[in-house]
Structure 1
Amino acid sequence: MTVLFSRLSGRLEARFDAERDQLPLWLPVGFGLGVAAWFALSDAYAWTAFLLAAGALLFGALGRAGTRWGKALAIFAFAAALGCGHIWWKAERIAAPVLDHPRMAEFTGTIERFQRLPARDSVRLVVRSADTGLPPRLRVNVDAEDAVPALQPGATVRIRAWMMPPPPMAVPGAYDFARYAWFSRIGGTGRASEVEVIAPAGEPGWRAMIAGWRQSLADHVQSRLSGGEGGIATALATGDQGAISEVDAEAMRRSGLAHLLSVSGLHLTAVVGAVMLLTLKLLALSPMLALRFRLTVVAAGAGALAGIAYTIVTGAEVPTVRACVAAILVLIGVALGREAITLRLVAVGALIVLLFWPESLAGASFQLSFAAITAIVALHEHPRIKALLTRRDEGLAQKVGRFLLALILTGLAVEIALAPIALYHFHKAGFYGALANVVAIPLTTFIIMPLEALALLFDLVALGAPFWWLTGQTLSLLLGLAHAVAETPGAVALLPTMPMPAFALMVGGGLWICLWKTKWRRWGLLPVAAGAFWALGTPAPDLVVTGDGQHLALRTDRGGFALLRTRAGDYVRDMLSETSGYEGELAAIEDLPTAACSADLCAAHFTRDGRTWRLLATRSRRYVDYEPLERACAAADIVVSDRSLPRTCLPRWLKADRTLLERTGGLAITLGDRPRVVTVRDRVGRHPWMRFD
């Protein structure tokens, strides 16, 4: 046994010695693993077990501290424990009161944040409440027609609104707003019926001042461009996507161009590069300055200031902060005359973001941003790709061809890296994004953003109209491309809710491929393939029930889905379709040949793996006689209701009424030889924002 361990240790030492330059890249991965473990595991016992396991690995690896692999493993284990403890500590530290039940409330408070949502014809306020009976921080939507000009950050308002606790994910795999609200310290959300400004905004603090500038810039852009073009122009200038209609946003997602709407590395690079180039060219006009000063350093400083200003104005979201940190590091490298665009730069940026905002790891924004930049840098650091794409003395046609090849390869790498993340969070991923980005990225970077910048600049002297017209035309071209690609048959792949372990396998395998350089990086293909097959082999649920019990989607014999309530809004329809991995039109249960429905009840039967299941669901609040209800329950296998049913209602297998759903949240039910129920509570665990009894 000792001989075998010595051989294994020797092989590991050789491997780690060959990869010694790559070892620092795993520090943020270890830290992120700890953060991810806290989100993935269910309760304090599991988190403690993870910390103990990481500690055991740490001390075990210290026993081989004389080897490179032992030191690396010890540091990785320490980083994992630190990450888990850090997010656990932060989640407890920022705890804030949360509403315990929905109610009508009238309260006075100060506006902290003001955001227009033109696409929804409303305004969103974050208000610090002065009412001791309410959580101190509330989010309230106000109809646009009730939004008076005095509604500004710093203003004191009196609001009457129907308030409710931050809602959890409605069904397993849907968006978890309660998690976002917890880390944002928002204790309730609702829609205002009355809004009155008691005192206008006084002298604003720096946060309110920046928010005011940002909103003024958004209003200015929307006054120059309307429709979808104005919404995208606003997003590029301020990071505010509230003016983009759902139709245009969905087209951008389906075409693989949604990353253009979120201010990140692409946009910040364009701003920093443009400012740096302009500064360098202007200063170089002076021979005295060119001879006496290092203009590259001055231009890098101007670019850094521009990047920081752009990050602040656009809301300092996680992708923008990551890109800003990376850009500053690149500029420092340029000033020092060193190559700075490396995976180590990405690792430093990731570690900084995780230290300050560890909760961002669970969001799609962080994952998409870092997956894209990691894939791009890893691709271009590969010796063969670097040799293929390196500039050389050749004709114009060859240069253009090499540039297009670089765009296509980069687009493919990004699409492959982002597909698992998009399928996990949004249950869909575009097939033609790489080709669409070949046109969209240069169009946005080299034409749209410079034109918009010129339009804003010339507006200072009231001469921006021609540039706004050109910006609108190019944005129309971008939108046209997005809609054309999105409407192409087979443009989008859809999957039902992906198991978390399958997603973890693909992410871990992808990191293994990107972060190592020697041949053992190929072993990462195994977990990627295993996770992909697991995800693809996960069947769509047969029945999806929302947490309030009002809506359910039943999988039909033809593979489609049918709704209990045909008047369900677009949000509910989209959520049920996406989590079920279905894109077609949702039918009505009452139209199925195996269903019988009244205004109050729906009964349907369907077959799965040779067994016939009978479903009973209520769809009104009206009273139903006990005896008929008792007989209907006894004849059903599954009963679903948005109210508490009497104890005499005894279905054969599952009674998902209000009493049960208040404890479990929404349900995803898969029937067959081994029926299985996945609940929202299973997904959330006992994290601080969990509100189930």
Structure 2
Amino acid sequence: MVTALRGVSERAEAWLDVERERIGLWLPVALGAGIAAWFALPAMIQWIGLLFLLAAGALVGVLAGWQRRLGRIAAVGSAVMAAGLLLIWARASWVAAPVLAQPAVTAFSAEVEAVEPQPAREQVRLIVRPLRRPDLPPRVRLTLRGDGDGIAPGAFVGLRARLMPPPTASLPGGYDFAQRAWFDRIGAVGTVLGDVVRSPGARRGSQPLRARLSAHIHAQVAGSPGGIAAALVTGDRGAISPEDDEAMRRAGLAHLLSISGLHVTAVIGFAMLVAMRLFALSRRLALAGYVLPIAAAAGALAGAGYTWLAGAEVPTLRSLIAALLVLVAFLMGREALTLRLVAAGALIVLLWRPESLAGPSFQLSFAAVTAIVALHESPMMRRFLARRDEALPLRWGRALAGLLITGLVVELALAPIALFHFHKAGLYGALANVVAIPLTTFVIMPMEAAGLLFDSVGLGTPFWWVADHALRLLIALAHAVADTPGAVATMPSFPRWGFALTVGGGLWILIWRTRWRWAGAVPLAIGIAALLAQPRPDLLITGDGRNIAAAVPGGGYALLRNRAGDFVRDTMSEAAGIDAPLGALADLDHVECNADFCRWRQGAEEGVTRAGQGIARGEQDAAARVILASRGRDRIEGAEMAAACAAADVVISDRWLPRECAGRWLTIDRDSLAQSGGLAIYFGERPRVVAALRAGDEHPWRQPDQLSGNDEAVPTDALAP
């Protein structure tokens, strides 16, 4: 046994010696694993226990095998993972701020911190700081109908608003805004009621450069094309219509709307090209070899300015960091585009904003870049794209094939992440990007840059005309691809452990170089199998209990309240993993409804179909569950409900149910939903319930310091800076 273990250790040491240049690439992975573990584990005792385990791993690595690579990897990896857990824990404690305890309608004065116009939705989003209101959180996000009447950052206003705590995920696997709001120090969200009053005599805020530039672009290019044009320059996506935004997402082109590597590279490359052409006119600078360093400095400044203008989001910062590292490596005569550069960028972003790891932006951007660099580092791809003496059509065809292969690899890398966060992934994105990326890089962005430059002398109109038509072509391409049958793959919730295996297996394949890299295919396959094996829920219940979606024969879903808004419908469709309109439960033959309740057998209609296949109707009905769901607002006495509740397997209500009302298997009302959040219920041989909120979750946004938000009206003359 000892001999066998020694042999395995020796083979591992030999393999690690061959891969020694790639070992350092796992540092950001270890740091990210510690951060992810803190998000995944719910209780503080588990965080502390994991720290002790990692400390033991580091100690074993130091004492038992520091002279060997396996020992050093165990010690350093455990220490870095522990550092990641401590980093995000400290970050969450550092940004702690009180949160509103319950919904409230109140008037208050506030200083406007940020303004985000959303003309496509005819509203403005404000971040404000309430003044002299210790019962309100220090930062509040508000939605104001209209154009905001020139409200700018720095202004002092008085308003009345309906406030509520930052919402948690309404369904299992949904977007948890409360988590993001915690790290943004936003303690309440709400809607402005009535008009906004400006403080008499207070200084008026001025619109920032980003807002003024976006407004200028909207004036040159109207509608949704103008919204995309502004998104490419300033990152402001508020003017893009919801229909066009969804089409871009379904077509796999949404990355063009988030300023990242493509945009930053184009800006830096253009700035360097112009600088090189200008400074090369000086013989003195050219002969002294200063042209390239000066051009690199100009590109770096242009990239930094562009990042600041676009709001310095995670994809933009990641792209800027990577671009700056490329410039440094280029000036030093080193190979620039390597996974070391990607690892360095990830390490910097995680140290600066560790919470970004949990968001789709970080995951999608770094997964795409890692896949691209790993692909183009491979010997096979290098041989395929190597320059050779061949006819021009063959050269262009080879370049086009390389672009298509890169797009396919990126789509494969991003699909699990998109399915985990959004429950859907585009299938034709690689083909759409073959047209969209060159169109954006070589037509739209240069025309916008020229239009902005020549607008200073009143000659920018022709360039905006070209940009407008190119943007309309891009939108038409997005709709054509999005409307193609099978353009989007949809899946229900992706188990966290399956997603972790998928990511781990993918990184193993991308980072290592030798044949042992393909061992990562095992966890990758297990993770994908876990996704494909996930059943669709039979019932979905939102956290407030008002909206219920039930699976119906044919793979669709129907809503209890057919008047539910688009947000609820989209949330239900994502959680169910479907890409089809939701019907109405009351319109189905097997559903009985009155003014107060709806009652049906979940799966009863399937019994009719299966009866034709020789399966008895009674046998199917015995397996079906009887559901009773309230939809009225009138009070009903418990004695009147008792018989109906006792005849149902599951009773669901958004109100408090009397003790006389209890289902045979499960009773869900306002009290239980307050503890569980939204629910996904699966029937079958082993019925189970999945909750959006985990019992015993001790993350700070689940147990924050709470404020009352008392209704204290503030007179207009009391508003003061």
TM-score, L = length of structure 1: 0.97
2 CA distance for matches of 1:96 and 1:475?
A: 42
Aligned to 2:8: 8
Where in structure 2 are the equivalents of 1:659-670 lying within 5 Å? Answer: 659-670=671-682
Q: Residue 187 of structure 1 aligns with which residue?
A: 187
1:444-459 equivalences under 5 Å are 444-459=440-455
Shift of residue 600, structure 1, vs aligned partner: 1.5
Equivalence map 1:360-379=2 (5 Å): 360-379=356-375
**Equivalent residues of 1:171, 1:546 under 8 A apart:** yes
- Asked if structure 2 preserves the Cα contact closer than 8 Å seen for 1:155 and 1:200, the reply is no
How many angstroms does 1:86 deviate by? 0.6
| Aligned counterpart in structure 2 of residue 144 of structure 1, from 127, 136, 146 | 146
Measured in 1, the distance between the counterparts of 2:231 and 2:554 equals 41
Q: CA deviation at 1:685?
A: 3.0
Partner of 2:107: 106
Equivalent residue letter for 1:648: E
2:307 maps to what in 1? 311
1:20-39 equivalences under 5 Å are 20-39=20-39
Kept in 2, the 8 Å contact 1:543–1:669? The answer is yes
Q: TM-score, normalised by structure 2?
A: 0.93
Q: State the partner residue of 2:611.
A: none
Residues 578-633 of structure 1, C-alpha deviations (whole Å, 9 max, x = no match): 11011112111111211111122111112387612011111121112433311111
Partner of 2:582: 586
Q: Which residue of 2 aligns with 1:417?
A: 413
Measure the CA separation in 1 of the matches of 2:383 and 2:294.
32
Q: How many pairs are equivalent?
A: 686
Bigger mean CA offset, 183-192 vs 437-446: 437-446
Q: Which moved more, 1:313-322 or 1:215-224?
A: 215-224
What residue identity is the alignment partner of 1:271? V
CA distance in 2 between counterparts of 1:289 and 1:93 reads 49
AA partner of residue 143 (structure 2): N
The offset of 1:2, in angstroms, is 2.6
Residue 342 (structure 1) shift: 0.5
**Aligned equivalent of 1:226, options 211, 222, 226:** 222
Instruction: Name stretches of at least 5 consecutive residues in structure 2 with no aligned partner.
Output: 605-619, 707-721
The CA RMSD over aligned residues, in Å, is: 1.6
Alpha-carbon distance in structure 2 between the residues aligned to 1:372 and 1:200: 51
Match for residue 17 of structure 1? 17
| Helix, strand or coil at the partner of 2:370 | helix
What amino acid maps onto 2:225 in structure 1?
A: E
For 1:96, the aligned partner's letter is: A
* Mapped pair 1:509 → 2:505: yes
Post-superposition offset of 1:340:
1.3
Inter-partner Cα distance in structure 2 for 1:638 and 1:135: 39
**Structure 2 counterpart of 1:87:** 88
Q: Is the 8 A contact 1:319 1:366 kept in 2?
A: yes
Picking from 641, 648, 665, the partner of 1:653 is 665
* The one of 395, 406, 414 aligned to 1:399: 395
Are the counterparts in 2 of residues 153 and 201 from structure 1 also a CA contact under 8 Å? no
The secondary structure found in structure 2 opposite 1:60 is helix
Distance 1:577 1:201 in 2: 47
Q: 1:640 aligns with which of 611, 630, 652?
A: 652
* Distance (whole Å) between structure 1 residues aligned to residue 576 and residue 57 of structure 2: 39
Offset of 1:534 from its aligned partner?
0.7
Q: What corresponds to 2:614 in structure 1?
A: none
Please give the secondary structure, in 2, of the residue aligned with 1:186: coil
The residue aligned with 2:178 is 178
Give the corresponding residue for 2:210: 214
Q: Which amino acid aligns with 2:15?
A: R
Return the letter of the residue paired with 2:688. R
Alpha-carbon shift at residue 639 of structure 1 (Å):
1.0
Answer yes or no: is 1:622 the counterpart of 2:634: yes
Q: CA deviation at 1:392?
A: 2.5
- Look up the match of 2:98: 97
Alignment deviations for residues 638-676 of structure 1 (CA, whole Å, 9 cap, x no partner): 111111111111110111100100111000111111111
Partner of 2:21: helix, strand, or coil? coil
Give the Å deviation of 1:691: 5.6
SS in structure 2 of the partner of residue 615 of structure 1: strand
Q: CA deviation at 1:199?
A: 5.3
Query: Helix, strand or coil for the counterpart of 2:600?
Result: strand
Q: Name whichever of 104-113 and 374-383 sits farther off.
A: 104-113
Partner-residue secondary structure (3-state), 1:461: coil
Query: In the alignment, which of 457, 464, 467 is matched to residue 468 of structure 1?
Result: 464
Instruction: Give the distance between the partners of 2:52 and 2:410, measured in 1 at CA.
Output: 36
Is 2:372–2:410's contact at 8 Å kept on the other side of the alignment? yes
- CA contact 1:455–1:467 (8 Å) conserved in 2: yes
Shift of 1:8: 1.9
TM-superposed deviation, 1:432: 0.7
- Measure how far apart 1:100 and its partner are: 0.1
Q: SS of the counterpart of 1:21?
A: helix
1:161 matched to which residue of 2? 161
How far apart are 1:5 and its partner, in Å?
A: 2.4
Query: Could you tell me whether the CA contact under 8 Å between 1:152 and 1:201 is conserved in 2?
Result: no
Q: Which amino acid aligns with 1:133?
A: D
Paired with 1:228 and 1:371, the residues of 2 have a C-alpha distance of 29
Unpaired runs of at least 5, structure 1 = none
Alignment pair present for 1:129 and 2:141: no
Residues 198-217 of structure 1 deviation map (CA, whole Å, 9 limit, x = unaligned): 1577497xxxx8x7111111
Which one of 413, 437, 440 corresponds to residue 436 of structure 2? 440
- How far apart in 2 are the matches of 1:183 and 1:323? 22
CA 1:199/1:179 → structure 2, altered by over 3 Å: closer, same or farther?
farther
Corresponding residue of 1:72: 73
SS in 1 for 2:578: coil
Paired residue type of 1:637: D
Residues 381-423 of structure 1, C-alpha deviations (whole Å, 9 max, x = no match) = 0011111112233221121011101101110110000000001
Q: Distance in 2 between matches of 1:299 and 1:346?
A: 23
